Structure 1
Amino acid sequence: MIEVNKLGKSFGDLVVFRDIDLHIRSGEIVVLVGPSGSGKSTLLRCLNGLEVPDEGSIRVGDATWNASMDASAKKEAVRHIRTLTGMVFQSFNLFPHMTALENVIMAPTIVKKRSKAQAVETGESLLAKVGLLNKKNEYPSRLSGGQQQRVAIARALAMQPQIMLFDEPTSALDPELTGEVLSVMKQLATEGMTMIVVTHEMKFAREVANRIIFMSDGKIQEEGSPDQFFVQPQTERARKFLRQLASEPETE
Structure 2
Amino acid sequence: MTASDTGQGMPGVSVAVKGTTTGVATDSEGSYQIQVPDNSAVLVFRFLGYQTREITVGSHSTINVTLNTDAQQLGEVMVTALGITRETKALGYAAQSVQSEELTQHRQPNVLNALQGKVAGATISSTGGAPGQGTNIQIRGINSIDVGRNNQPLFVIDGVLMDNSTSTVGAGAELRGMSNRLADINPDDIESINVLRGGAATALYGLRGANGVVVITTKRGEQGSLRVNFTSTAGIEEVNKFPDMQSTYSQGTRGVYDATNFFPSWVPV
Q: Please indicate, yes or no, whether the TM-score normalized by the shorter chain is above 0.5.
A: no
Which protein has greater RCO, CA pairs closer than 8 Å, 6+ apart? 1
Q: TM-score, normalised on structure 2?
A: 0.24
More helix by share: 1
